[in-house]
């Protein structure tokens, strides 16, 4: 997985290859095919691996009261992005998804199936799925501007300030009235 994440980060989805991933892991390409299958399946596994802290954190967040979820979710999200080791594969995944339809479809399936479904499942509202998507859109948009495009001053402000400013907006998306 480390080699796959590095290859997707360095080459992007389009230029990454099973041979290059295998070379980076010092194994035969047949071994990569055996354990992961196609390039699409390797990318899906890399997405799942990079997002594992989020899925595990969302499982743990279920214990928080509804009125605290916006801050907890926002803090979890930026805690993952602020970790330099975790950030590099996430940036690579976002870049690949923005440039390639296959990578976008893989990321979309993962986000909808593994992340947003967990958030929506914790909401008591008829439009829980839409609420979860709006909250995620808010946070992913900020992540895109901060970590991928590095737009200032957003890229330079402390993460704690981001949490303080965004948590009420995320909370409103999740539990507020229309």
Mean pLDDT of 133-154: 91
pTM for the predicted model, two decimal places: 0.73
Query: For residue range 11-52, what is the model confidence (pLDDT) as tens digits?
Result: 777 888 899 999 988 999 898 888 888 888 888 787 777 666
Least confident of 64-68, 113-117, 173-177: 64-68
Query: For residue range 53-76, what is the model confidence (pLDDT) as tens digits?
Result: 666 666 655 555 667 788 888 888
Query: For residue range 102-111, what is the model confidence (pLDDT) as tens digits?
Result: 878 877 877 7
| The pLDDT of residue 62 | 54
Which has the closest alpha carbon to 42: 8, 67, 81?
8
- The encoded tokens of residue 128 equal 């829980």
d(CA 84, CA 159): 13
| pLDDT at residue 164 tops 90 | yes
Terminal CA-CA length for the chain: 43
The mean predicted confidence, pLDDT, of the chain is 82
Backbone angles phi, psi at 149, to 5 degrees: -85, -20
d(CA 80, CA 88): 11
Neighbouring CB atoms inside 10 A of 113's CB total 10
Which H or E run contains 163? helix 159-175
Share of the chain above pLDDT 90, in %: 22
The string of DSSP letters for 2-53 reads: HHHHHHHHHHHHHH--HHHHHHHHTS-HHHHHHHH-SHHHHHHHHHHHHHHH
d(CA 98, CA 144): 11
Peptide bond into 153 cis (omega under 30): yes
Kindly indicate the confidence band of residue 167, based on its pLDDT and cuts at 50, 70 and 90.
very high
Mean pLDDT of 135-150: 90
């Amino acid at each position: 997985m480390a080699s796959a994440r590095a290859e997707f980060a360095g080459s992007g989805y389009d230029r990454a290859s099973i041979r290059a991933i295998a070379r980076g892991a010092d194994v035969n390409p047949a071994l990569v095919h055996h354990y992961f299958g196609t390039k699409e399946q390797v990318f899906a596994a890399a997405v799942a691996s990079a997002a594992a802290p989020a899925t595990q954190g969302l499982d743990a967040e279920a214990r928080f009261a509804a009125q605290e979820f916006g801050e907890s979710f926002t803090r979890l999200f930026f805690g993952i992005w602020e970790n330099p080791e975790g950030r590099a594969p996430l940036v690579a995944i976002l870049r690949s998804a923005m440039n390639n339809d296959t990578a976008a479809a893989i990321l979309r399936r993962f986000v909808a199936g593994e992340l947003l479904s967990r958030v929506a499942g914790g909401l008591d509202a008829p439009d829980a799925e839409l609420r979860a998507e709006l909250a995620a859109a808010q946070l992913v948009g900020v992540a895109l501007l901060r970590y991928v495009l590095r737009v200032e001053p957003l890229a330079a402000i402390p993460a704690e300030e981001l949490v303080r400013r965004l948590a009420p907006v995320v909370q409103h998306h999740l539990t507020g009235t229309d």
